[in-house]
Chains A and B, each alone.
Chain A
Amino acid sequence: MEKMLLNNVDKPNSEKISTYISGGGYKSLEAALKKEPEKLIETVKASGLRGRGGAGFPTGLKWSFIPKDPTLAKYLVCNADEGEPGTFKDRVIIEKDPHLLIEGMIISSYAIGGATSYIYIRGEFVQGTKILEEAIKEAYEKGYLGKNILGSKFSHDMHVHRGFGAYICGEETALLESLEGLRGQPRKKPPFPALAGLYAKPTVINNVETLSCIPAIVSKGADWFKGIGPEKSPGTKLFCVSGHVEKPGTVELPMGTPLREIIYDHCGGIKGGKKIKAIVPGGVSAPILMPSYLDIAMDFDTLAAKKTMLGSGAIVVMDETTCMVKVAYIVNRFFSHESCGKCTPCREGTAWLTQVLKRIEYGKGKKSDIKLLDEVCDNIFGNTFCPLGDGAVMALRGFLHNFRDEFEYHIERKECMV
């Protein structure tokens, strides 16, 4: 398979612009600037590219919502918040091939008519921030950023904005609040960011991996991209695999690759030859899968049909020694810690769930606790301002549905089943 995302990452000095250019980098930008912006949006639409940040929204369609009025300021924001536990794929591009992302962002900005773009990066990624800032400087020096790029009429500025420890800022409207210097709490939609985003101006927000697909789509064409993987979720995908596997890491494979192949052929199988117990297929918000689903095709639609999701492509593998009550507690504690506090069901509900899960985990659970968890879940789900609370519930329901016996055992015997 031909890669489009991890071609450069193993080269020495892969983060330098000279390495990127000698591998054919910035040729797509040159080609793109000779096309009409409208044509580029059509190409991305035709490619079938869907957002890699979690929701899988068609990228070309999102871009086409941006008003064409040339007097309006427009923005592109790259979502590099990478906060969903289990996810560490964007970091690979940021640290090892920053120019792939930057080239993708310049082309995308040209397509939507944006004069300024921001990379919103999570605060903990200090090295990534330094690498991106250096790469942006290099791109200015070579004339890929700044005034009249490559002699064209298009000018563009790019900046890095650091988050500072808040998962919710990965949600696109909370991210915009944060960019405006405020607490990161989600905004009401509509209006959608495409009409009123950053500073109330039309704004496109895309994930790092999404934007990094753009140079290949421009150079190799929409048909080439669409020819990889399933028709409705085409392209390659970064799968970041962690937990109880022999060789954890990030791999680039066609969308729709079976889960079994990813875990056993590309990540060395289960650590120490143990038995597999459960798998998080797409970041902790995605309900767990049982081993009977190992042959599932890893793409947006197939996973959605099984009531879980591809999410960020973060696969967390758990072996037979894993206590599911403990994992459920840890996952829920995360959501409770990260709830932004704006709406009551999420703020109070996730805290309550964590309290109950904690007492079950520590051998103080009550008989009525499982029913209580179910009820609190019902009161959160569908009643929150943004999807964070729903994510917490989807995750917990997955554990409760598949491992109810372990919760009961934990409550009765005050110890783990494993």
Chain B
Amino acid sequence: MLSDKAKKEIEEIHGRYHSRRSATMAAMQIVQAEGGHLTEADMREIAEIVGVNPVQVQEVGAFYSMYNVERPVGKYHVQVCRNISCSLLGAEHIIETLEKKLNIKTGETTTDKLFTLTTAECLGSCGTAPMMQINDDYYEDLTDAKVGEIIGKLK
């Protein structure tokens, strides 16, 4: 069940668009922000609110890489950029460091459900490579020491 807060936020978004369907992405973002991921049931409710078939919301959920559909992530979702500029400056090494520090492989979640580690293909922060994103925030110009400090603070 969507929370009342989420429903209210979604209602507020409708005014921005000529068509209710345009609120699909934002509605899904609002719901994911609350629970960390989206379920089939969430998407069915969203479909009803924005006036489309459930399958149309599922399509959107499957297309955009940031929607975590039926894929719970840890409290902190660590995404390490591994595209060109970050790779040139040692992204692979940063990923290894994180795997060791968190004792998981890329794609996994720690048993205490605190951290999920994944990779990303360019986060638009190439001038401060290597970098990673944890939930909403960018962490830039990474070194081993910096990674240790950041993870230490969150643990």
Could you list which residues of chain A lie within 8 angstroms of chain B, going by C-beta atoms? Answer: 73, 82-88, 91, 122-127, 157, 159, 161-167, 178-184, 199, 240-244, 248-250, 280, 284, 314, 316, 318, 322, 326-327, 330-331, 333-334, 337-338, 340
Contact = CB atoms under 8 A, between A and B. Distances in A.
B121 A333 contact: yes
B133 A280 contact: no
Contacts of A165: 64-67
A83 B122 contact: yes
A166 B85 contact: no
Interface of B: 16, 18-19, 21-26, 28-29, 50, 52, 56, 59-60, 63-67, 82-85, 87-89, 120-129, 133, 136-138
B84 A164 contact: no
Given A166-B64, A181-B25, A181-B52, A249 B127 contact: yes
Contacts of A83: 122, 124
A164 B126 contact: no
Contacts of B21: 180-182
Nearest to B125: A88
Contacts of B67: 164-165
Given A181-B19, A242-B85, A316-B88, A162 B64 contact: no
Nearest to B85: A242
A242 B121 contact: no
Contacts of B83: 85, 330-331, 334
A124 B66 contact: yes
Lowest 6 A-B CB distances belong to which pairs?
A165-B65, A181-B24, A165-B66, A242-B126, A164-B64, A242-B85
B23 A87 contact: no
Contacts of A125: 124
A284 B84 contact: yes
A85 B136 CA distance: 20
Contact of A330 (B18, B64, B84): B84
B126 A180 contact: no
A327 B123 CA distance: 17
Contacts of B124: 82-83, 87-88, 91, 122, 124-125
A248 B127 contact: yes
B121 A123 contact: no
20 contacts: A85-B122, A86-B84, A88-B125, A91-B125, A125-B124, A157-B16, A162-B29, A164-B29, A167-B121, A180-B19, A181-B23, A182-B56, A182-B60, A184-B63, A242-B88, A242-B126, A243-B88, A318-B88, A322-B88, A327-B88
A122 B66 CA distance: 10
A338 B83 CA distance: 12
A227 B25 CA distance: 43
Contact of A243 (B59, B64, B84, B136): B84
A88 B22 CA distance: 27
A284 B126 CA distance: 12
Contacts of A162: 25-26, 29
Contacts of A280: 84
Given A87-B124, A162-B29, 7 more contacts: A123-B29, A180-B22, A181-B24, A181-B52, A183-B64, A244-B89, A334-B121
A339 B123 CA distance: 17
A162 B124 CA distance: 15
A83 B59 CA distance: 22
B126 A316 contact: yes
Among the interface residues B29, B56, B87, B137, which one has the most CB atoms of the partner chain A within 10 A? Answer: B87
Given A85-B84, A127-B136, A314 B126 contact: yes
A183 B125 contact: no
B137 to A, nearest CB: 8
A322 B28 CA distance: 41
A164 B68 CA distance: 11
A318 B129 CA distance: 14
Contact of B126 (A126, A159, A163, A240): A240
B96 to A, nearest CB: 16
Given A165-B64, A330-B87, A334-B122, A242 B127 contact: yes
Contacts of B89: 243-244
A200 to B, nearest CB: 10
Nearest to A168: B63
Contacts of A123: 29, 64, 66
A249 B129 CA distance: 10
A330 B65 CA distance: 18
A395 to B, nearest CB: 10
Contacts of A240: 126-127
Contacts of A330: 82-84, 87
Given A181-B50, A334-B122, A161 B26 contact: yes
Contact of A85 (B60, B63, B65, B121): B121
A126 B32 CA distance: 14
B25 A250 contact: no
A199 B84 contact: no
Contacts of A86: 84-85, 122, 126
A316 B84 contact: yes
A165 B22 CA distance: 17
